[in-house]
Amino acid sequence: MASVRELLDGAIERLRANGSDSPRLDAELLLGRAVGVDRTVLIAHPTAPVGTDAEAAFLADVERRAAGEPVAYIRGFKEFHGLAFAVDGRALIPRPETEQLVEMAEREVMRRLTGSPRPPGTPPIRVADVGTGCGSIAVALGVLLRRRSVGRDVEILATDDSAAALELARENAVGHGVADRVRFIEADLLPPVVAQPFDVIVANLPYIPSEVVDRLPVAASFEPRSALDGGPDGLSAIGRLLQRLTDALAQTGVALLEIGADQADSLGELVGEHLPGWSCRVERDLAGLPRTARIERSPAVGRT
């Protein structure tokens, strides 16, 4: 039987030759999947023998990865904000940078819950996760609020125009015990009529320009193009959402949008065009790149 080190060395060479930008990590994750242990166990026991069935499964997965399929799809899950989300070709694989949206949304909700007294009968804080995909933002936020014992004071609506993606999102909500705290509906951005405006709108919409999508690594070709392609300038879907904010966002509400690292100025211009007098502030991510926009009415606009 081949050892852990022998299998990893061969897989790393194979994946590197086929363009993986993280061949060692990919190989370790896939061998851990085949053996049924965490990759750290493999690293600690490089001379351990690997059974023939596990070796065959591992080599098959390596070939899938060599063909470009994302490791997350092969494994069937992706870690996001400390949670494991089921992922497959129905929705985009959640990225680490999107965790910032979850953290900002949690802070905003908690500020509203604790900033002033909430006598009995006070309506819950209304949150919308637009373009939810696999449900990573809505579910992670629901879990965080449950841990704070405030989940019952918040209503979360998650939307997507893909019925298949919503099916996956519901599976993740059930898996993390928040299916009763997040409502999922099929809609193009938001419901056609928003009877009760939202206090917080969170959105990670497609923002990659169409011509750039065609040049992405082959792994991206396994994900739904509609979840990546933001139109000619990358801001088509975001622009359509901005047009809905006047009616969909409460007077004191805030919209939190993930954008591309080079889109801060373009987004500011778009906000000025669709929402004159509103403010748009872009926060940087851990890499120092402009990443998350906070959009809201200015005080003067709020009084009109």
List the chain domain ranges.
4-67, 91-303
4-67 shares its CATH topology with 91-303: no
What's the fold here for domain 91-303? Answer: Rossmann fold (3.40.50)
Structure confidence by residue, pLDDT tens digits, 198-228: 999 999 999 999 999 999 999 999 999 999 9
pLDDT band at 151 (very low <50, low <70, confident <90, very high): confident
Q: Judge whether 42 and 35 are in contact, CB under 8 Å.
A: yes
CA 141/CA 136 separation, integer angstroms:
8
Instruction: Report which DSSP code applies to 174.
Output: H
pLDDT band at 41 (very low <50, low <70, confident <90, very high): very high
Res 303: pLDDT: 43
CA 193/CA 110 separation, integer angstroms:
27
Res 117: pLDDT: 87
Q: Report the chain's mean pLDDT, rounded to a whole number.
A: 95
Structure confidence by residue, pLDDT tens digits, 233-256: 999 999 999 999 999 999 999 999
Which residues partner with 281 through β-bridges?
294
Quick one: how far is CA 177 from the chain centroid?
18
Res 285: pLDDT: 94
What's the fold here for domain 4-67? Answer: Helicase, Ruva Protein; domain 3 (1.10.8)
| pTM attached to this predicted model | 0.94
Per-residue pLDDT at 159 exceeds 90:
yes
Per-residue pLDDT at 140 exceeds 80:
yes
Res 241: pLDDT: 98
Res 300: pLDDT: 60
Per-residue pLDDT at 304 exceeds 70:
no
Q: What is the rounded average pLDDT of the residues 28-40?
A: 96
Structure confidence by residue, pLDDT tens digits, 46-65: 999 999 999 999 999 999 99
Res 235: pLDDT: 98
Phi then psi for residue 37, to 5 deg, are -135, 165
Res 299: pLDDT: 78
Angle between helices 52-66 and 23-35 in degrees, nearest 10:
140
Residue with tokens 């419901």: 191
Structure tokens at 68: 């470009």
CA 74/CA 33 separation, integer angstroms:
9
Structure confidence by residue, pLDDT tens digits, 179-188: 999 999 999 9
Q: Judge whether 30 and 81 are in contact, CB under 8 Å.
A: no
